[in-house]
Protein backbone atom coordinates (compact mmCIF):
# COMPACT_ATOMS: atom_id res chain seq x y z
CA UNK A 1 0.00 0.00 0.00
CA UNK A 2 1.26 3.47 -0.80
CA UNK A 3 2.09 5.60 2.20
CA UNK A 4 -0.64 8.05 3.11
CA UNK A 5 2.08 10.69 3.54
CA UNK A 6 3.29 12.71 0.55
CA UNK A 7 6.89 11.65 1.18
CA UNK A 8 8.31 9.08 3.51
CA UNK A 9 10.52 10.33 6.32
CA UNK A 10 14.18 10.54 5.36
CA UNK A 11 15.60 8.05 7.83
CA UNK A 12 19.13 8.39 6.43
CA UNK A 13 19.86 12.10 6.41
CA UNK A 14 16.74 13.49 8.11
CA UNK A 15 16.69 15.22 11.47
CA UNK A 16 14.18 15.79 14.20
CA UNK A 17 12.52 19.20 13.94
CA UNK A 18 10.04 21.01 16.16
CA UNK A 19 7.05 19.85 14.09
CA UNK A 20 7.75 16.25 15.11
CA UNK A 21 6.48 17.04 18.60
CA UNK A 22 3.63 19.37 17.83
CA UNK A 23 0.64 17.12 17.41
CA UNK A 24 0.32 17.72 13.69
CA UNK A 25 0.87 15.67 10.56
CA UNK A 26 4.66 15.56 10.95
CA UNK A 27 4.34 13.96 14.38
CA UNK A 28 1.72 11.51 13.18
CA UNK A 29 4.06 10.47 10.37
CA UNK A 30 7.00 9.97 12.75
CA UNK A 31 4.81 7.89 15.03
CA UNK A 32 3.51 5.83 12.10
CA UNK A 33 6.72 5.24 10.18
CA UNK A 34 9.10 4.83 13.10
CA UNK A 35 7.53 4.07 16.47
CA UNK A 36 4.51 2.00 15.45
CA UNK A 37 6.44 0.24 12.68
CA UNK A 38 9.38 -0.73 14.90
CA UNK A 39 7.60 -1.45 18.16
CA UNK A 40 4.93 -3.44 16.31
CA UNK A 41 2.33 -3.80 19.03
CA UNK A 42 -1.43 -4.05 18.42
CA UNK A 43 -2.26 -1.82 21.40
CA UNK A 44 0.17 0.87 20.24
CA UNK A 45 -1.13 0.58 16.68
CA UNK A 46 -4.61 1.65 17.78
CA UNK A 47 -3.18 5.17 18.12
CA UNK A 48 -5.28 6.23 21.04
CA UNK A 49 -3.51 8.25 23.72
CA UNK A 50 -3.80 5.23 25.98
CA UNK A 51 -3.60 1.45 25.93
CA UNK A 52 -6.42 -0.73 27.20
CA UNK A 53 -5.76 -4.30 28.31
CA UNK A 54 -7.14 -6.95 30.65
CA UNK A 55 -5.48 -7.91 33.94
CA UNK A 56 -6.42 -10.64 36.37
CA UNK A 57 -7.45 -9.53 39.86
CA UNK A 58 -4.55 -9.17 42.21
CA UNK A 59 -1.44 -7.30 43.05
CA UNK A 60 -0.17 -4.90 40.42
CA UNK A 61 3.27 -3.30 40.29
CA UNK A 62 4.03 0.04 38.65
CA UNK A 63 7.43 1.64 38.20
CA UNK A 64 8.93 4.47 36.18
CA UNK A 65 12.42 5.63 35.23
CA UNK A 66 13.77 8.49 33.15
CA UNK A 67 16.85 7.53 31.12
CA UNK A 68 19.38 10.26 30.37
CA UNK A 69 22.46 8.10 29.82
CA UNK A 70 25.38 9.75 28.06
CA UNK A 71 26.62 8.68 25.57
CA UNK A 72 23.45 7.29 23.99
CA UNK A 73 25.32 4.31 22.51
CA UNK A 74 27.82 2.32 24.58
CA UNK A 75 29.42 -1.14 24.54
CA UNK A 76 26.67 -3.65 25.21
CA UNK A 77 23.68 -1.43 24.59
CA UNK A 78 22.14 1.99 24.10
CA UNK A 79 19.53 4.19 25.73
CA UNK A 80 16.75 2.21 23.99
CA UNK A 81 17.63 -1.25 25.28
CA UNK A 82 18.58 0.24 28.67
CA UNK A 83 15.17 1.91 29.02
CA UNK A 84 13.47 -1.43 28.41
CA UNK A 85 15.74 -3.51 30.63
CA UNK A 86 15.88 -1.04 33.49
CA UNK A 87 12.14 -0.68 33.86
CA UNK A 88 11.47 -4.39 33.41
CA UNK A 89 13.97 -4.95 36.22
CA UNK A 90 12.28 -2.46 38.55
CA UNK A 91 9.00 -4.32 38.03
CA UNK A 92 10.71 -7.68 38.54
CA UNK A 93 12.27 -6.48 41.82
CA UNK A 94 8.79 -6.57 43.33
CA UNK A 95 8.69 -10.29 42.54
CA UNK A 96 6.36 -9.44 39.68
CA UNK A 97 5.91 -10.53 36.10
CA UNK A 98 6.30 -7.46 33.83
CA UNK A 99 3.48 -7.20 31.30
CA UNK A 100 3.49 -3.85 29.55
CA UNK A 101 5.66 -0.79 29.08
CA UNK A 102 4.98 2.79 28.09
CA UNK A 103 7.66 5.01 26.56
CA UNK A 104 7.85 8.80 26.42
CA UNK A 105 10.54 10.42 24.25
CA UNK A 106 11.94 13.91 24.67
CA UNK A 107 13.87 14.63 21.48
CA UNK A 108 16.24 17.50 20.82
CA UNK A 109 15.69 19.42 17.62
CA UNK A 110 18.34 18.43 15.06
CA UNK A 111 18.83 14.88 16.37
CA UNK A 112 19.53 12.53 13.44
CA UNK A 113 16.55 10.36 12.55
CA UNK A 114 18.98 7.54 11.73
CA UNK A 115 20.17 7.53 15.35
CA UNK A 116 16.60 7.72 16.59
CA UNK A 117 15.71 4.74 14.44
CA UNK A 118 18.65 2.79 15.79
CA UNK A 119 17.49 3.53 19.34
CA UNK A 120 13.85 2.66 18.69
CA UNK A 121 14.82 -0.56 16.92
CA UNK A 122 17.07 -1.52 19.80
CA UNK A 123 14.20 -0.81 22.16
CA UNK A 124 11.92 -2.96 20.01
CA UNK A 125 14.39 -5.83 20.04
CA UNK A 126 14.83 -5.65 23.81
CA UNK A 127 11.07 -5.57 24.21
CA UNK A 128 10.55 -8.57 21.89
CA UNK A 129 13.32 -10.58 23.55
CA UNK A 130 11.80 -9.90 26.96
CA UNK A 131 8.25 -10.57 25.81
CA UNK A 132 7.11 -7.22 27.26
CA UNK A 133 5.55 -4.87 24.73
CA UNK A 134 5.56 -1.08 24.50
CA UNK A 135 1.83 -0.42 24.43
CA UNK A 136 1.57 3.36 24.57
CA UNK A 137 3.88 6.33 24.18
CA UNK A 138 4.47 10.00 23.66
CA UNK A 139 6.88 12.16 21.68
CA UNK A 140 7.94 15.69 22.49
CA UNK A 141 10.58 17.85 20.83
CA UNK A 142 12.56 20.64 22.51
CA UNK A 143 14.70 23.29 20.82
CA UNK A 144 18.35 22.62 20.08
CA UNK A 145 20.32 23.28 23.25
CA UNK A 146 17.34 22.56 25.53
CA UNK A 147 17.83 18.79 25.59
CA UNK A 148 20.56 16.29 24.80
CA UNK A 149 19.66 14.12 21.85
CA UNK A 150 17.13 11.77 23.41
CA UNK A 151 15.72 11.24 26.87
CA UNK A 152 13.37 8.28 27.34
CA UNK A 153 11.03 7.63 30.24
CA UNK A 154 9.65 4.12 30.44
CA UNK A 155 6.98 2.98 32.85
CA UNK A 156 6.20 -0.65 33.48
CA UNK A 157 3.29 -2.53 34.92
CA UNK A 158 3.26 -6.14 36.00
CA UNK A 159 1.45 -8.55 38.24
CA UNK A 160 2.64 -10.41 41.29
CA UNK A 161 1.66 -14.04 40.88
CA UNK A 162 0.30 -15.61 44.06
CA UNK A 163 1.55 -16.84 46.51
CA UNK A 164 4.51 -14.48 46.29
CA UNK A 165 4.96 -12.12 49.19
CA UNK A 166 6.27 -8.88 47.72
CA UNK A 167 9.95 -8.33 48.37
CA UNK A 168 10.58 -4.87 49.78
CA UNK A 169 13.59 -2.86 50.89
CA UNK A 170 12.24 -2.72 54.45
CA UNK A 171 12.13 -6.48 54.97
CA UNK A 172 15.81 -7.34 55.59
CA UNK A 173 16.11 -9.08 58.97
CA UNK A 174 19.18 -9.84 61.10
CA UNK A 175 20.53 -13.25 60.11
CA UNK A 176 19.34 -12.96 56.49
CA UNK A 177 21.83 -13.78 53.77
CA UNK A 178 22.86 -11.26 51.08
CA UNK A 179 23.36 -12.63 47.55
CA UNK A 180 24.42 -10.83 44.36
CA UNK A 181 23.62 -12.30 40.97
CA UNK A 182 26.98 -11.56 39.34
CA UNK A 183 29.88 -9.19 38.78
CA UNK A 184 29.72 -5.60 39.95
CA UNK A 185 30.61 -2.43 38.02
CA UNK A 186 30.41 -3.63 34.41
CA UNK A 187 27.88 -1.03 33.26
CA UNK A 188 29.73 1.82 34.93
CA UNK A 189 33.05 0.91 33.33
CA UNK A 190 31.42 0.38 29.91
CA UNK A 191 29.90 3.88 30.04
CA UNK A 192 33.16 5.40 31.23
CA UNK A 193 35.13 3.70 28.50
CA UNK A 194 32.87 5.19 25.85
CA UNK A 195 32.86 8.77 27.11
CA UNK A 196 34.69 11.33 25.08
CA UNK A 197 37.82 12.42 26.84
CA UNK A 198 37.81 9.34 29.04
CA UNK A 199 38.33 6.73 26.35
CA UNK A 200 40.52 3.85 27.46
CA UNK A 201 41.00 0.34 26.25
CA UNK A 202 38.72 -2.20 27.80
CA UNK A 203 36.71 -5.12 26.57
CA UNK A 204 34.04 -4.62 29.23
CA UNK A 205 30.48 -4.37 27.99
CA UNK A 206 27.48 -3.10 29.88
CA UNK A 207 25.64 -5.91 31.67
CA UNK A 208 22.31 -4.36 30.60
CA UNK A 209 19.78 -7.21 30.64
CA UNK A 210 16.20 -7.99 31.60
CA UNK A 211 16.16 -9.95 34.85
CA UNK A 212 12.49 -10.90 35.01
CA UNK A 213 12.97 -14.52 33.95
CA UNK A 214 15.71 -15.02 36.53
CA UNK A 215 13.43 -13.49 39.16
CA UNK A 216 10.54 -15.73 38.10
CA UNK A 217 12.72 -18.80 38.71
CA UNK A 218 13.90 -17.41 42.04
CA UNK A 219 10.44 -16.69 43.46
CA UNK A 220 9.23 -20.07 42.28
CA UNK A 221 11.86 -21.71 44.49
CA UNK A 222 11.71 -19.20 47.35
CA UNK A 223 8.38 -17.36 47.27
CA UNK A 224 9.27 -15.21 50.28
CA UNK A 225 12.51 -13.51 49.24
CA UNK A 226 12.72 -10.61 51.69
CA UNK A 227 14.43 -8.05 49.46
CA UNK A 228 15.13 -7.85 45.73
CA UNK A 229 16.87 -4.77 44.39
CA UNK A 230 18.93 -3.97 41.34
CA UNK A 231 22.07 -2.02 42.24
CA UNK A 232 21.94 0.63 39.49
CA UNK A 233 22.92 4.25 40.23
CA UNK A 234 25.26 4.40 43.20
CA UNK A 235 26.12 0.72 42.76
CA UNK A 236 26.20 -1.97 45.42
CA UNK A 237 27.21 0.46 48.15
CA UNK A 238 24.25 2.83 47.70
CA UNK A 239 21.79 -0.04 47.35
CA UNK A 240 22.94 -1.89 50.46
CA UNK A 241 22.94 1.35 52.43
CA UNK A 242 19.43 2.19 51.25
CA UNK A 243 18.18 -1.24 52.29
CA UNK A 244 19.93 -0.91 55.68
CA UNK A 245 18.19 2.45 56.17
CA UNK A 246 14.78 1.15 55.09
CA UNK A 247 14.97 -2.00 57.21
CA UNK A 248 16.72 -0.47 60.23
CA UNK A 249 19.52 -3.04 60.19
CA UNK A 250 23.25 -3.29 59.55
CA UNK A 251 25.09 -5.56 57.15
CA UNK A 252 28.40 -7.39 57.20
CA UNK A 253 29.82 -7.98 53.73
CA UNK A 254 32.94 -9.91 52.76
CA UNK A 255 34.93 -7.99 50.15
CA UNK A 256 36.60 -11.02 48.60
CA UNK A 257 33.28 -12.74 47.99
CA UNK A 258 31.99 -9.90 45.78
CA UNK A 259 32.41 -10.88 42.13
CA UNK A 260 34.27 -8.22 40.12
CA UNK A 261 35.85 -8.78 36.70
CA UNK A 262 39.61 -8.29 36.52
CA UNK A 263 39.19 -5.71 33.75
CA UNK A 264 36.78 -3.74 35.95
CA UNK A 265 39.21 -3.85 38.87
CA UNK A 266 41.99 -2.67 36.55
CA UNK A 267 39.92 0.15 35.08
CA UNK A 268 38.84 1.27 38.54
CA UNK A 269 42.45 1.32 39.79
CA UNK A 270 43.41 3.42 36.79
CA UNK A 271 40.61 5.91 37.41
CA UNK A 272 40.58 5.90 41.19
CA UNK A 273 37.08 4.49 41.41
CA UNK A 274 35.53 1.74 43.52
CA UNK A 275 33.60 -0.97 41.61
CA UNK A 276 31.13 -1.08 44.49
CA UNK A 277 30.08 2.49 43.69
CA UNK A 278 29.56 1.83 39.98
CA UNK A 279 26.19 1.18 38.37
CA UNK A 280 24.97 -2.21 37.20
CA UNK A 281 22.10 -2.73 34.79
CA UNK A 282 21.72 -6.50 34.71
CA UNK A 283 22.40 -7.57 38.28
CA UNK A 284 20.31 -7.96 41.39
CA UNK A 285 20.73 -8.26 45.12
CA UNK A 286 18.58 -10.82 46.92
CA UNK A 287 18.23 -10.92 50.69
CA UNK A 288 16.66 -14.06 52.08
CA UNK A 289 16.23 -16.11 55.22
CA UNK A 290 19.45 -18.08 55.73
CA UNK A 291 17.56 -21.38 55.51
CA UNK A 292 16.70 -20.66 51.86
CA UNK A 293 20.06 -19.23 50.83
CA UNK A 294 21.72 -22.30 49.33
CA UNK A 295 18.61 -23.28 47.39
CA UNK A 296 18.23 -19.75 46.06
CA UNK A 297 21.90 -19.51 45.12
CA UNK A 298 21.77 -22.81 43.23
CA UNK A 299 18.70 -21.64 41.30
CA UNK A 300 20.38 -18.36 40.41
CA UNK A 301 23.54 -20.10 39.23
CA UNK A 302 21.53 -22.33 36.92
CA UNK A 303 20.32 -19.25 35.01
CA UNK A 304 22.55 -17.58 32.39
CA UNK A 305 22.08 -14.21 34.10
CA UNK A 306 23.01 -15.58 37.54
CA UNK A 307 25.89 -17.88 36.67
CA UNK A 308 28.32 -15.92 38.83
CA UNK A 309 25.92 -15.40 41.73
CA UNK A 310 27.56 -15.38 45.14
CA UNK A 311 26.70 -15.03 48.81
CA UNK A 312 28.48 -11.86 49.89
CA UNK A 313 27.45 -11.43 53.50
CA UNK A 314 24.63 -11.21 55.99
CA UNK A 315 22.27 -8.81 57.69
CA UNK A 316 23.12 -7.86 61.27
CA UNK A 317 21.51 -5.98 64.11
CA UNK A 318 22.95 -2.48 64.17
CA UNK A 319 21.23 0.64 65.50
CA UNK A 320 23.66 2.68 63.38
CA UNK A 321 22.56 0.88 60.20
CA UNK A 322 26.15 0.56 59.02
CA UNK A 323 27.16 -1.57 56.06
CA UNK A 324 30.50 -3.02 57.17
CA UNK A 325 32.87 -4.62 54.76
CA UNK A 326 35.53 -7.12 55.78
CA UNK A 327 38.48 -6.42 53.55
CA UNK A 328 40.68 -8.97 51.85
CA UNK A 329 43.43 -8.13 54.34
CA UNK A 330 41.32 -8.97 57.38
CA UNK A 331 40.31 -5.44 58.34
CA UNK A 332 36.84 -3.94 58.53
CA UNK A 333 35.64 -0.64 57.06
CA UNK A 334 32.31 1.05 56.64
CA UNK A 335 31.06 0.75 53.05
CA UNK A 336 30.11 4.36 52.59
CA UNK A 337 27.28 5.78 50.67
CA UNK A 338 28.49 8.64 48.49
CA UNK A 339 26.81 12.03 48.47
CA UNK A 340 26.65 11.89 44.71
CA UNK A 341 27.97 9.25 42.40
CA UNK A 342 31.30 8.87 40.71
CA UNK A 343 29.54 9.20 37.37
CA UNK A 344 26.60 11.37 36.47
CA UNK A 345 24.20 10.24 33.73
CA UNK A 346 25.06 6.59 33.97
CA UNK A 347 21.47 5.53 33.18
Choosing from 33, 40, 121, 148, the residue that interacts with a second copy (CB under 8 A) is: 148
| CA-to-CA separations, 192 to 115, 229, 282, in angstroms, rounded | 21, 23, 17
Spatial contact of 254 and 243, defined as CB atoms under 8 Å apart: no
Strand partners, 227: 287
50 binds a second copy per the rule CB under 8 A: yes
With binding defined as CB under 8 A, does residue 1 bind a second copy? no
Please list every residue from 277 through 316 that binds a second copy, using CB under 8 A.
279
Sole binder of a second copy in the list 93, 124, 189, 190 (CB under 8 A): 93
Q: Toward a second copy, which CB reaches closer, 157 or 296?
A: 157
CA distance 61 to 42: 22
**Using rule CB under 8 A, residue 253 touches a second copy:** no
- Which residues have a Cβ under 8 Å from the Cβ of 181 and sit 6 or more positions away? 211, 214, 283, 284, 285, 286, 300, 305, 306, 308, 309
91 binds a second copy (CB under 8 A): yes
Q: By CB neighbour count within 10 A (0-12 exposed, 13-18 middle, 19+ buried), where does 140 fall?
A: middle
Considering only 8, 10, 25, 295, the residue that binds a second copy (CB under 8 A) is 25
Residue 334 contacts residue 322 (beta carbons within 8 Å): yes
Contact 232, 86 (CB under 8 A): yes
Q: Please report, as residue ranges, which positions from 155 to 214 form the binding site for a second copy (by CB under 8 A).
A: 155, 157, 160, 166, 168-170
Q: Is 248 in the site for a second copy (CB under 8 A)?
A: no
Closest among 132, 140, 153, 138 to 53, alpha carbons compared: 132
**Which of 34, 82, 106, 311 is in the footprint of a second copy by CB under 8 A?**
106
Q: In this complex, which beta carbon is closest to a second copy, that of residue 233 or of residue 292?
A: 233
Helix (H) or strand (E) holding 313: strand 310-316
Tell me which stretch binds a second copy (CB under 8 A): 142-150, 172-180, 186-194, 327-335. Answer: 142-150
Q: Minimum Å distance from CB 302 to a second copy?
A: 26
Which 107-136 positions form the footprint of a second copy (CB under 8 A)?
Answer: 135-136
Please give the residues from 53 up to 72 whose contact with a second copy meets the rule CB under 8 A: 53-68
Q: Which of 78, 90, 176, 207 binds a second copy (CB under 8 A)?
A: 90
56/331 with CB nearer a second copy: 56
Question: By C-alpha distance, which of 58, 286, 230 is closest to 161?
Answer: 58
Q: Residue 186: count other Cβ atoms within 10 Å of its Cβ.
A: 27
Exactly one of 11, 142, 216, 252 binds a second copy (CB under 8 A); that residue is 142
**d(Cα 79, Cα 85) in Å, to the nearest integer?**
10
**247 binds a second copy, rule: CB under 8 A:** no
Asked if 48 is part of the footprint of a second copy (rule: CB under 8 A), the reply reads yes
Among residue numbers 322 through 341, which ones bind a second copy (CB under 8 A)? 337-341
C-beta neighbour count of 216 within 10 angstroms: 17
The residue count for binding a second copy (CB under 8 A) is 87
| Complex with a second copy: residue 233 or 314, whichever CB lies closer | 233
Task: Establish if 104 lies at the interface with a second copy (CB under 8 A).
Answer: yes
3-state secondary structure of 164: coil
Amino acid sequence: MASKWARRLDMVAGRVDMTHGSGGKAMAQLVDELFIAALDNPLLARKNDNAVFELPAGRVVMTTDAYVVSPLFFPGGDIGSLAVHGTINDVAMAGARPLHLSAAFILEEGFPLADLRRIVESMAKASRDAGVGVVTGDTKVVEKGKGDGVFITTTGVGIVPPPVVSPSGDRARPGDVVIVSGTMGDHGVAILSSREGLAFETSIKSDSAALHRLVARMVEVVPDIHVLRDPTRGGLSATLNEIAQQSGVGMVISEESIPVRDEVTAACELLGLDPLHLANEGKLIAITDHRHADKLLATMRSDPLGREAAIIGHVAEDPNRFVQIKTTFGGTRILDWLVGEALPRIC
